[in-house]
Structure 1
Amino acid sequence: MSYRQIYIRKAEKLSLRHHSLIIKKESEEIAIPLEDIASLLLEDHQTVITAALLAALSDYYITLIICDEKHLPITQTLPMNMHYKQLKVFYDQLGVKKPFNSQLWNRLIHYKISNQKAVVDSTVKNEDASVKLKQCIKDLQSGDKTNREAIAAKIFFEAMYGNVFSRKRKSEDAVNAALNYGYSIVAGQVTRVLTMYGFNTNIGIHHESMNNSFNLSYDFVEPYRPVVDLYVYKHLNELDYPLPIAIRKELIELLQFKVKMNKKFYNLQFAIEETVKSYIKCLENDDSSLLCLPELTIDENQEDDSIEL
């Protein structure tokens, strides 16, 4: 099973040879078996990529993420027709009724706020914020009709970064840049797994923007966001804008962060796959309680399976 995230900061050429990624850097060539790679993040706009490699990346379900001039993820490549029952999965998605989606969304937000509370309890230890987040969980209604998610987010970010902090998707401050970078990496992995199992990411559970091709991806990102939040808070003193190389690399490595799910521990990338597989069971059995979601664990001993080149 693929497990490595390849971060390429500078390279002359990326090509394919004998089912391996070939990275040419000056007079050096590095070969990495494609079967080991889960994702490939490229920052260098001067790097040449061969068409043969792009096709092979699709065959091996490897997501390619390309960054802009500010080193922020901006483009992701996805294979077409990856699943042998793709049309059936598509019809299953279309057939989901709104009340069922409301139950799923309620479960996603329950875990998101619970994980936000875990971050607050393990870092800033703000008792008032912790109590309020716990109350948000208790007040959750089907489909989050009273918008507890937004209320919890306000409580959470104020507790973590102060009253003056404003959460923005496009911002040139270091904290927002780090959050956006980390969320994009997690969303890329979610999208990769969803498409691998035949899902159309346009069709969301709660997100339904006509201008968003990744509505479903951002539904499933929600309970995983606090992993990024935890990292960013712990590295506040190291943040800068544009983001330093070391920070970008470590945000990619968060896919190896361990979370708890069904009394077992999984690296984030495998936990996401368990979530998607459980979503299939939810649809097949019309039972939202089958959706497996992560519980955030605070552990300093996290392994690193990324490669920087």
Structure 2
Amino acid sequence: MGWRNVIITGFSKLSYSCNNMVAQTSLGTYQIPVSDINILLVSTTQAMISSALISELAKQGVKIIFVDEKKEPISETVNYYANNCNYQTLINQLNWDEHRKQILWTKIVAAKITNQILVLKNYDKEYCDVQAELNKLEFNDYTNKEASAARKYFSDLFGQKFKRRNEKEVINGALNYGYSILLSAVNRKIVLEGCQTYMGIHHSSVRNEFRLRSDGTLSSIH
């Protein structure tokens, strides 16, 4: 598994040669061993990437993330087969115990709200309202304290006028960008473990092909 997160920000040509990613830019030509790369973020629409490089990065389990003209992540690569994907792993995932999934979801929501409280404390913000939601958390979060805590969290952190779904808000753009990167990293780990990203423990939207990563990132965001 690689250790470098490589970000391409300007005009460049990315290709593959002798186990290296070759990046040709206006400043020169650079080579990075494919085995060193953890995530490749193509943070520009002015880069060209060869199919040979994409193939080799996929073999190494490297996640490639592409952005749109607004510099926001718009797509990422997902391998057909993880390095250790096998039939038994799929069967195990299909047969995850329902009660155990509910226990995990409760712990994930508790961890998310706890992290929110820690962030508010770190910035000397009011956190009592969010703490109250954590105190009322029930098994499997039947009363959806995750959502109510999030609303109070963002208001306490950014002000009462802040709206998380306001696409014109600069803060939301930054949050969405960071969240997309985090989602991709979690998704990469899931695939490397041989699991299917669309089989989650709580999220169930038919439009979400990455339900498991959506479950897994909640305790880490904010």
Q: Is TM more than 0.5 here?
A: yes
Query: In the alignment, which residue of structure 2 is the partner of 1:39?
Result: 39
Q: Of 149, 152, 155, which residue of structure 2 is paired with 1:155?
A: 152
**Contact 1:82/1:195 (<8 A) preserved:** yes
Identity %: 31
- Superposed counterparts of 1:264-283, under 5 Å: none
**Contact 2:61/2:83 (<8 A) preserved:** no
Greater helix share, structure number = 1
- Distance in 2 (CA, whole Å) between partners of 1:167 and 1:86 is 40
Deviations 1:206-239 (A, max 9, x none): 101111111111111101112xxxxxxxxxxxxx
Q: Of 128, 137, 141, which residue of structure 2 is paired with 1:140?
A: 137
Deviations 1:171-206 (A, max 9, x none): 121010000000000000000110011111111111
The reply on whether 1:213 has 2:209 as its aligned counterpart is: yes
**Contact 1:11/1:23 (<8 A) preserved:** no
Q: Give the Å deviation of 1:132.
A: 2.6
Q: Give the Å deviation of 1:101.
A: 1.2
Query: In the alignment, which residue of structure 1 is the partner of 2:51?
Result: 51
Q: Give the Å deviation of 1:146.
A: 1.0
Letter in 2 for 1:137: L
Which structure 1 residue ranges, 4+ long, deviate > 4 Å from structure 2? none
Q: Secondary structure at the match of 2:81?
A: coil
Query: In the alignment, which residue of structure 2 is the partner of 1:10?
Result: 10
- Distance in 2 (CA, whole Å) between partners of 1:90 and 1:112 is 28
- Distance in 1 (CA, whole Å) between partners of 2:183 and 2:134 is 24
- Distance in 2 (CA, whole Å) between partners of 1:90 and 1:136 is 36
Q: C-alpha root-mean-square deviation of aligned residues, in Å?
A: 1.4
- Distance in 2 (CA, whole Å) between partners of 1:45 and 1:117 is 38
- Distance in 1 (CA, whole Å) between partners of 2:72 and 2:210 is 18
Instruction: For structure 1, list consecutive stretches of 5 or more residues without a partner in the other structure.
Output: 227-309
The reply on whether 1:189 has 2:156 as its aligned counterpart is: no
- Superposed counterparts of 1:231-242, under 5 Å: none
Query: In the alignment, which residue of structure 2 is the partner of 1:69?
Result: 69
Q: Secondary structure at the match of 2:176?
A: helix
Deviates more, 1:82-91 or 1:172-181: 82-91
The reply on whether 1:175 has 2:171 as its aligned counterpart is: yes
- Distance in 2 (CA, whole Å) between partners of 1:73 and 1:140 is 33
- Distance in 1 (CA, whole Å) between partners of 2:108 and 2:44 is 36
- Distance in 1 (CA, whole Å) between partners of 2:207 and 2:86 is 23
- Distance in 2 (CA, whole Å) between partners of 1:19 and 1:172 is 42
Q: Secondary structure at the match of 1:166?
A: coil
**Contact 2:4/2:39 (<8 A) preserved:** yes
Letter in 1 for 2:160: N
Q: Secondary structure at the match of 1:224?
A: coil
- Distance in 2 (CA, whole Å) between partners of 1:177 and 1:111 is 24
Query: In the alignment, which residue of structure 1 is the partner of 2:108?
Result: 108
Closer/same/farther in 2, CA of residues 27 and 3 from structure 1, 3 Å limit: closer
**Contact 2:117/2:130 (<8 A) preserved:** yes
Q: Secondary structure at the match of 1:206?
A: coil
Aligned length: 222
Letter in 2 for 1:14: L
Question: Normalized against structure 2, the TM-score is what?
Answer: 0.95
Q: Secondary structure at the match of 1:186?
A: helix
Deviations 1:251-299 (A, max 9, x none): xxxxxxxxxxxxxxxxxxxxxxxxxxxxxxxxxxxxxxxxxxxxxxxxx
Letter in 1 for 2:217: V
Instruction: For structure 2, list consecutive stretches of 5 or more residues without a partner in the other structure.
Output: none
